[in-house]
Amino acid sequence: MKYHVGSVLYRNPLLRYLLTSIMLLLSCSEGAAENWDWYQNVVYQESHDPGVVLLKDGREFQVIDWGSQYSNLDTWKAGQSVLLAYKSAIGAVIYAQDSGKSVPVWPVAGGKHPIDLMTTQCLEKAQSTSSMSDCYHAGYGRWDGELNRVYNALVASLVKNKTKEAVDVLKDAQREWLKFRDAQLKAITAISNRYGGTQSKVTASMSANDILIEQVHRLNDLLLLSFDGPDDV
């Protein structure tokens, strides 16, 4: 995980979060499919509480910060064609090209994130174990970007809610997790290099991805929780 401590933007999570929101609006207003790192044509079916979007193919996505963005779904109709799209700077969104409205989303438990789908598409085209490893390495880079994006959004949300103690605890926990991640990656690499062939490199890349993905999902769960605000009881 990279902390750009020399940048005012990265030192101020709230400013970073606000800028990311602006980038989301600008990206969606442009509207063309080529503005996304990845996209998939899907069909919107319905939305229901608590802030879940259902697609016609049965997939469900949780709307992130649905209190402020959920109203974008008001004009969407069942059977309407939309995009499930991804851009590294803003994450995953469901975007309606006709209205220019979008909502940032995260797959409901068990669902596939766009990064997962990108990795799967890459693997389907891979012709060797080496190229399969390349797919997982690319996926790792994207998930690392998501780790930074979600972490900074969570810190910004906690700062906004004036929960300084929670921010401090989160930062300590993330520092400890980074130590855990580095130790795990060191072990995976050592064992793979000592005992494995080319197939073991693929297995090692998958294991490295799993460590990262698990933490991103955990942070995103906390992000969703933080949008409810601090407990007033």
Using CA atoms, how far apart are residues 50 and 135, in angstroms rounded to an integer? 35
Rounded mean pLDDT, 94-105: 92
97 burial class (0-12, 13-18, 19+ CB within 10 angstroms)? middle
What domains does the chain contain, in order, with CATH numbers?
A: 8-111 (no CATH), 117-226 (1.20.1270)
Report the pLDDT averaged over residues 186-195.
91
pLDDT exceeds cutoff 90 at 204: yes
Per DSSP, what are the bridge partners of residue 86?
Answer: 38, 92
Inform me whether the pLDDT recorded for 185 exceeds 50: yes
β partners of residue 61: 53, 107
Q: Write the single-letter amino acid at 222.
A: L
Terminal C-alpha separation, the chain: 35
H or E stretch covering 103? strand 101-107
pLDDT per position as a tens digit, 54-85: 999 999 999 997 556 778 888 899 999 999 99
Res. 231 pLDDT band, cuts 50 70 90: low
Whether the per-residue pLDDT at 229 is higher than 60: the answer is no
C-alpha to C-alpha distance for 153 and 21, rounded to whole angstroms = 10
